[in-house]
Amino acid sequence: MERIRGYKYRAYPNKEQREFFAKTFGSCRFVYNHYLAKRKAKWEECHDTMSYNDTAKDLANNLKKEHAWLKETDSTALQQSLRHLDNAYNNFFAGTGGYPKFKRKRTDQSYRTTNTNNNIRIEDNAIRLPKAGKVKIVNTRSFEGRIISATVSRTSSGRYYISLQVEEEYEILPNKGGEIGLDAGLTALYTDSENNKIENPRTLSKHEKRIRRLQRELSRKKKGSKNREKARIRLAREHEKVANIRNDFQHKMTYRLANDNQVVCIEDLNVKEMMGNHRLARSISDASWSEFFRKLEYKMGDRGGILIKVPGTYPSSQRCSCCGRQERKVRDLSIRSWTCPECGAKHDRDVNAAVNILIKGLEMLAS
């Protein structure tokens, strides 16, 4: 079987390569913003738009002649920037994304280039890129397959990464064949139908004190000064540390679940709507359920497993997992345990919900 998979490497470009990447980031951002403004203005003037072909033709025939410095960068990266803009518009009209926004200089920067005539390849501990040459990397992962594209990125703290999109042959990995239901939460990241609770690491909360201190230090620095830039980098690195710890924890938990189970049933939560609750938004963001379930889904696929999403409207907490009676008073979130008046079964709220999610998921699978 064939699949497309990403491989990400930490990169250590030299001074010339960093300058080239900065020029390419800026050029791609300029091209994206230029044609976003142009398409927006055309729509406001005559309710018409520009296609990708229109913008690509205008870039080659006009914009590059007006701004000769655009020719110093990777031309494929500029074309990909136009592709990204066109995809953003398509997502907006399809209702799967918001209206495209202008790119900013101070956020994470990236550009994408495609592999033509094997101009992107790994050579020992380096990746060869168009116009940039051999960029030193930490070669932690090997693969056998055809490189489709490469994305060069620079984080807010100044770290560089190169992500390769690879088409490769793969075999489905084995799993232990279990079946389990998961109930997501904030105190416990999830509770499973086997009465196991995985505590929420609360990564952001543990680093919040230091982040606040670094934020205060940044706000005191004079704008445009070198000390302000140093303070900004320290704050950015602390945020990256939080993201890396959370990411590592999620990979470990999802790997274990995918390795042990053939079927995993979860509740299809509307996280975006739940984030509207200002009292819980920070905790929900810290738990990062969407990213956790995204990782779990592709890991299940690698092992031939199935991830079943039970509708969020299903009353998993209110229904007795033994007799099926629905107890409406359990809608009160302060009730953490209850006894079924029908069959007398005693339930932990979260474990009972996980069992019901598993039962409903298996019913959906059977049907």
Residue positions annotated with a catalytic role: 183, 267, 350
Could you write out the DSSP letters of every residue in 42-97? HHHHHS----HHHHHHHIIIIIHHH-GGGGGS-HHHHHHHHHHHHHHHHHHHHTSS
> What is the Cα 249 distance to its own chain's centre?
15
CA-closest candidate to residue 114, choices 167, 66, 72: 167
Q: Which two tokens stand for residue 346?
A: 């005693």
Closest residue by Cα to residue 354 from 176, 184, 177: 184
Whole-angstrom Cα distance, residue 125 to residue 250? 28
* Residue whose entry in the numeric block shows the structure tokens 């995809």: 87
Q: How far apart are CA 298 and CA 221, in angstroms?
A: 44
Q: Rounded CA gap, 146 and 143, in Å?
A: 9
**Residues in a beta bridge with 113:** 150
Residue type at 294 in one-letter notation? R
In degrees, rounded to 5, the angle at the alpha carbon of residue 187 between the alpha carbons of residues 182 and 193 is 25
Instruction: Quote the tokens at residue 254.
Output: 């999802």
Assign residue 266 a region: left if phi > 0, alpha if psi is -120 to 50, beta otherwise? beta
Taking phi first (over 0 means left), then psi (-120 to 50 degrees means alpha), and beta for anything else, what does residue 332 get? beta
- Distance in angstroms (rounded) separating the CA atoms of residues 293 and 305: 14
CA–CA gap between residue 81 and residue 72 (Å, rounded): 16
